[in-house]
């Protein structure tokens, strides 16, 4: 009995490591996309700077050059426009940058009242608990004792949106099926 439980736990741990590695790969791909976007913005900024340099180089030789830094009103307005455009582009870039969302991977052990509890109906009721920032994952029945099984189910929650206490209390409120809810594993993603 213990070896079966150990095997199930080992299989479940392998499954969770697989999920964690997939999440890590997705995060790496997202970082690559962000870097590519930064490079595109950098290239466009360099192109704008080259255009400005070419405009200055094309000035007529007859134009007066003010060595003491006083600028005409036209140049001052152009500089202000360029500055405002760059600030607007920077603000737009910052607003598009996704915030890092803290998430946790939780494995719950949900115990029924007795061996006559309909475990499939219990799982359906548990999965009906829905809220923004909660995503249900894989589940399995794990032998507990005397023919009683517990439901072991995984979920991913956004830490700012879903409280673990709220989740436990909400599941425990399914009193016709659920006796208690324990946290079997809790990992930050």
- pLDDT, one tens digit per residue, over 111-127 is 999 889 999 999 999 99
Mean of the per-residue pLDDT values for the chain? 82
Cβ atoms of 152 and 173 within 8 Å: the answer is no
Average pLDDT of the residues in 169-176: 94
Question: pLDDT-based confidence at 75, cuts 50/70/90?
Answer: low
55 burial class (0-12, 13-18, 19+ CB within 10 angstroms)? exposed
What is the gyration radius of the CA atoms in the chain, in angstroms? 30
| pLDDT for res 91 | 81
Q: How many Å apart are CA 160 and CA 154, to the nearest integer?
A: 18
Strand partners for 145? 148
The CA distance from 93 to 89, in Å, is 6
SS3 at position 54: helix
Assign 164 a pLDDT band (cuts: 50, 70, 90): very high
Where does the chain have alpha helices with state H? 2-57, 73-96, 119-127, 164-172
**Mean pLDDT within 79-86:** 87
Distance between CA atoms of 91 and 97, rounded to whole angstroms? 10
Q: Are 153 and 138 in contact (CB under 8 A)?
A: yes
CA separation for the pair 174, 122 (Å, rounded): 8
Q: Which residue has the tokens 């479940």?
A: 12
Which pair of tokens denotes residue 79?
A: 């500089």
User: Cα–Cα–Cα angle for 33, 35, 38, nearest 5°?
Assistant: 110
* C-alpha to C-alpha distance for 14 and 140, rounded to whole angstroms: 14
Mean pLDDT of the region 143-163? 92
Q: What is the pLDDT of residue 108?
A: 95
Reported pTM: 0.49
pLDDT-based confidence at residue 62 (cuts at 50, 70, 90)? very low
């Amino acid at each position: 009995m213990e070896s079966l439980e150990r095997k199930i736990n080992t299989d479940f741990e392998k499954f969770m490591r697989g999920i964690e590695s997939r999440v890590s790969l997705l995060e790496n791909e997202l970082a690559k996309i962000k870097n590519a976007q930064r490079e595109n913005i950098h290239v466009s900024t360099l192109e704008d700077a080259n255009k400005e340099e070419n405009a200055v180089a094309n000035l007529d030789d007859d134009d007066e050059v003010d060595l003491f830094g006083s600028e005409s009103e036209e140049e001052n307005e152009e500089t202000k426009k360029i500055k405002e455009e760059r600030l607007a582009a920077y603000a737009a870039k910052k607003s598009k940058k996704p915030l890092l969302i803290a998430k946790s991977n939780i494995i719950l052990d949900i115990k029924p009242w007795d061996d006559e509890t309909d475990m499939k109906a219990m799982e359906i009721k548990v999965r009906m608990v829905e809220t923004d920032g909660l995503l249900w994952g894989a589940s399995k029945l794990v032998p507990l004792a005397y023919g009683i099984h517990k439901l072991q189910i995984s979920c991913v929650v956004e830490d700012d949106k879903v409280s673990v206490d709220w989740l436990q209390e909400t599941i425990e409120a399914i009193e016709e099926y659920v006796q208690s809810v324990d946290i079997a594993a809790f990992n930050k993603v």
